Amino acid sequence: MGEDKMLVLSGNEVEELLAHREAEVLEAVRQAYVTHSRGESSLPQSIFLRFPEDDLNRIIALPAFLGGGFGTAGMKWIASFPANTKHGMARASAVLILNSCETGRPEAILESSLISAKRTAASAALAASELHRGPVPETVGLIGTGVINLEVARFLLAVMPGLRRFLLFDLDRERAGRFGDRLRAIHAGVEVGIASDVTEVLRTCPLTSFATTAIRPHLADLSMCPPGATLLHVSLRDLTPEAILACDNVVDDVEHVLRAQTSVHLAEQLSGSRDFVRCTLADVLQGQALPRRDETSICVFSPVGLGILDLAVGKLALDRGRASGVGTAIAPFFPTDESF
């Protein structure tokens, strides 16, 4: 593609390019974590755009550079407006811009809500495969029944082929029912139950994923969890700081997750220390830390969601799009007279 062209990939095209590519997405996420841990990346803090007198809606900018075998830079611009779901729209919408590391010019614009969901889910599933010990759980809990946990289920089924049952909870029971119908339609043979409350999920499931729109911690008591349970705290603000401090904590990046009033950030403020964070997922992936502190503690994985993961999965979609001729090329995209 010439330097005066821009490739645009729509959401439907991205979905087509990444369909049934769970193994490739998981490997891209794994390699992105390892590359980042080796210092072969640049990752400024995310920028949160918030609105006066509105603590629910936000738009976030995630700039990043990812080296190693990726060699790409760019930025995700993602909006989260939870009330959209009441109007038949997705909560999140996003675009991803990928830039050439040779010229700095943007090379592609990708609709990125699905990329964001898949990289988030792949990160959670990768953590589950590394941190959760013992046999494949009989039942996995999903708290929050939106796009993120639908993808989490997809990727957990990829890393745990023996998984057969999910137990759901959502404040909107009808939404949970629709989610269950879709989950069964996508994955034949999967059983789905709907819990009456969060406690039922935690009591029943040794592995649970939180993907809610909670903006303040609301869950303080984890005593009902089975010994050795694993919690994928994807939404970052469900567990109280006291609950966090009582657990074995693994994160994706200490500097990035301990901010913006996440549960682990509040735990740092409460304890006055970061010592409660045992390691990062990359430490475990590279054998530099044990998967768990011990066999009975509750292990909590809190991933802030790093921009490098969007680059890794976005580049996978872009490379496949170029190879298969998918996407719309806009040319010329840049001004034709650049002599000045």
Dist CA 145 CA 44 (whole Å):
31
Q: Domain for residue 296, yes or no?
A: yes
Are 139 and 78 part of one and the same domain? no
Best CA proximity match to 316, nearest among 10, 17, 7: 17
DSSP 226: P
Taken in order 157, 24, 252, 121, the sign of the CA dihedral is: negative
pLDDT band at 1 (very low <50, low <70, confident <90, very high): very low
Say how far apart CA 90 and CA 93 lie, in whole Å: 7
* CATH code for the domain of 249: 3.40.50.720
**218 lies in some domain:** yes
pLDDT score of 130 more than 60: yes
Residue 3 has pLDDT above 80, yes or no: no
Tokens, residue 270: 């409460």
Residues 215 and 166 in one domain: yes
- Say if residue 102 is in the same domain as residue 251: no
Does 237 score more than 80 pLDDT?
yes
- Same domain membership, residue 240 and residue 219: yes
Q: Considering only CA atoms, which of 153, 282, 248, 262 is closest in space to residue 208?
A: 153
pLDDT surpassing 60 at residue 339: no
Domain that holds residue 237: 134-302
| Structure token digits, residue 286 | 């590279």
Amino acid identity of residue 52, one-letter, is P
Model confidence over 288-328: pLDDT tens digits? 999 999 999 999 999 999 999 999 999 999 999 999 999 99
Does the pLDDT at position 238 exceed 60? yes
Average pLDDT over all residues of the chain = 95
- Dihedral, CA atoms, 38, 44, 45, 50, nearest 10 degrees? -150
Do 183 and 255 lie in one domain? The reply is yes
On the question of pLDDT at 28 being above 60, the answer is yes
Residue 339 domain-assigned (yes or no): no
Distance, CA of 137 to CA of 131 (rounded, Å): 13
Residues 69 and 183 in one domain: no
Domain total for the chain?
2
> Do residues 157 and 220 share a domain?
yes
Q: Are 94 and 115 in contact (CB under 8 A)?
A: yes
Same domain, 33 and 99: yes
The answer to whether residues 201 and 271 belong to one domain is yes
177 and 95 within one domain: no
Same domain? 185 vs 324: no
Q: State residue 2's pLDDT score.
A: 47
- In the chain, the largest separation of any two C-alpha atoms, in whole Å, equals 69
In a domain, 338, yes or no: no
- d(Cα 201, Cα 166) in Å, to the nearest integer? 10
Query: Positive or negative, the Cα torsion across 158, 163, 169, 174?
Result: positive
Beta-strand pair 47-51/54-66: antiparallel
More confident residue, 88 or 192: 192
Residue 340 binned pLDDT confidence (cut-offs 50, 70, 90): low
**Residue 336 belongs to some domain of the structure:** no
Which pLDDT value is given to residue 267? Answer: 98
Contact in structure between 312 and 33 (CB atoms under 8 Å): no
pLDDT tens, residue by residue, 177-196: 999 999 999 999 999 999 99
Domain identity same for 38 and 106: yes
pLDDT at residue 337 in the model: 67
Nearest to 151 by CA among 129, 174, 183, 173: 183
Q: What is the CATH number of the domain that holds 97?
A: 3.30.1780.10
pTM of the model: 0.94
